[in-house]
Amino acid sequence: MSLRGVGIELKSITAYVPAMVVIGVQLLWFPTGIGPWTLGVVVGLLTALVALGLALIYRANRVLNFAQGDLGTVPTTLSVGLIAFSGLPYLLGLFLGLGAAVVLGAVVELAIIRRFTRAPRLLLSVATIGLSQLLMVAGLLLPR
């Protein structure tokens, strides 16, 4: 009998033990309903998706795209505003938001990213910081 894979399995199990202890202590001393737990899972999964997207972009292009989250915020704000404030049907607002995301991504790619294709990667990363600031302001001013 070989114990070759047992060490790897034991390491992966022991990595989760501290997290399970923290969850168990919280359940014993601070009992809550299912709502906060669901919210925590949703926020955690959204954060994991952003991190995964950042890692994929970096592995593909060797660029840290700091504007990644803001590229999704502006079309989302537009879509939610159209649905909530204009009374647009949900599916129409959803497809308009998706269309806005495609257009915004194409504009950013053609107007900003392609200008820095031959520049050092650090310069493109700094350009994405500036783009993030612009998109953050656009996302804040959009509902007005």
Domain residue ranges in the chain = 1-31, 62-141
Q: 90-111 and 68-85 are packed helices; what angle lies between their axes, rounded to 10 degrees?
A: 150
Across the chain, mean pLDDT equals 88
Name, in order, each residue with C-beta under 8 angstroms of 105's C-beta and a sequence gap of 6 or more. Answer: 71
What tokens does 84 get? Answer: 């909530």
Which has the higher per-residue pLDDT, 77 or 143?
A: 77
What tokens does 100 get? Answer: 């806005």
pLDDT in tens, 16-74: 888 889 888 988 898 888 888 899 889 999 999 989 999 999 999 888 999 998 999 99
Contact status, residue 129 vs residue 65, Cβ threshold 8 Å:
no
